[in-house]
Amino acid sequence: MTDKISPSMMCADITSLTKTLDTFEKCGIEYLHIDIMDGHFVPNFTLGTDYCKAIKKICNIPLDIHLMIEKPEEKLSWFQFGEGDIVSVHAESTAHLQKALAQIKKCGAKAFVALNPSTPICVLDYILDDIDGVMIMAVNPGFAGQKMVPSCLEKISYLRSYLDGKGYSNVEIEVDGNVSFENAVKMKKAGANIFVAGTSSVFNKDFSLEDGIALFRQKIGEA
Ligand code: DX5
Ligand code: ZN
C-alpha cells in the first residue's frame, strides 16, 4: 500500500491557509485531515461544516474528515463529501455504526472506522465488509500536542495481521495523534500507511512546511 500524508488542519495557521494549501498541492499531499469535534464525544470544538465547504471550494486535495461527534449517522448530510474523500466515524460514538458506514459509502466516499486507544479490534468483526480503512487513535482524541499511548503500536501490528488473516488486506490503516517523525517510522513498521501529520511533525515552527513534508516522506520511505 502506498504511504499517504494527511496534515491535521486544526494545527494549520488559519491566517495563511491559502498559502498552506498551495504548498500542500505542490508537495503532492494526499489528504487534508479535518477534525470535527462536538464538545460531547470529545471535550473540545474545532473545525466545522462551513470550513469543509470552504476548503473544497479552493483546494482539490481530497478531505479526510475525522468525525469526533455523537450519533454521526444523524449528521452526515451536514457535510459535503464524495468520491475520493475519507470519512471516519468512531466506533464509540454510535449504536448504529454499520448504518453510518453504509451511508458514507453510499455517498461515494471511503468509510473508515476510528478506534480510541482502549477500544479492542474485535469491534470490527461484523463490519469488515463495510469499511475501507481503520483509523487507530494514538492519543485520546480532542487535542493536538499529546503524547502517543504506547500500546497503539502493538495494536497497529495486531490490526494489520487481523485484517490480512481475514482476507481484508485492501483495508487501509490510518494513524492519528502524536505522529512525530520518530513515531511515524514505528507506526509504518507496525503496518500503518496513512499518517495524520500535526504539531508533532509538519506543523513545527522550527522548519518550513516544505522541509517538514520532505523529512516526513524521507522517514517513512526509509522505514
Ligand atoms: C487529535 C486530533 C489529531 C491531532 C494531531 O484529536 O485528531 O489530528 O490534531 O496533532 P498532533 O500531531 O499534535 O497530535
Ligand atoms: Zn484527527
Select which of 35, 38, 64, 132 is catalytic. 35
- Per the CB < 8 A criterion, the answer to whether 97 and 89 are in contact is yes
Tell whether ligand 1 has an atom less than 6 A from the beta carbon of residue 188: no
The ligand 1 atom at the shortest distance from the C-alpha of residue 199 is: 13
Q: Given this model, what pLDDT does residue 81 score?
A: 95
The dihedral built from the CA positions of residue 40, 67, 172 and 212, taken in this order, carries a sign that is negative
Select which of 38, 64, 132, 176 is catalytic. 176
Q: Given this model, what pLDDT does residue 77 score?
A: 96
Total residue length of the chain: 223
Q: Catalytic residue at 35? A: yes
Secondary structure (3-state) at 26: helix
Task: Please give the helix or strand (H or E) that residue 73 lies within, else none.
Answer: none
Least Cα distance to 87 among 56, 69, 66 occurs for 66
Q: Given this model, what pLDDT does residue 200 score?
A: 92
Residue of 10, 180, 181, 200 to test ligand 1 pocket, by largest number of atoms within 8 Å of CB: 10
Q: Given this model, what pLDDT does residue 212 score?
A: 97
Q: How high is the mean pLDDT in each 10-residue block of the chain (223 residues)? A: 96 96 98 98 95 96 98 97 97 98 98 98 98 98 94 98 98 98 98 97 94 97 91
What pTM value is reported for the model?
0.97
The ligand 1 atom at the shortest distance from the C-alpha of residue 142 is: 6
Q: Given this model, what pLDDT does residue 163 score?
A: 98
- Per the CB < 8 A criterion, the answer to whether 168 and 132 are in contact is no
Q: Given this model, what pLDDT does residue 70 score?
A: 98
Least Cα distance to 81 among 47, 48, 50, 109 occurs for 109
Report the distance separating Cα 158 and Cα 24, nearest Å. Answer: 32
Tell whether ligand 1 has an atom less than 6 A from the beta carbon of residue 212: no
Give strand pairing partners of 185: none
Greatest distance between any 2 Cα atoms in the chain: 46
Q: Given this model, what pLDDT does residue 60 score?
A: 97
Tell whether ligand 1 has an atom less than 6 A from the beta carbon of residue 176: yes
> What cell numbers appear for 209 in the block?
512546511
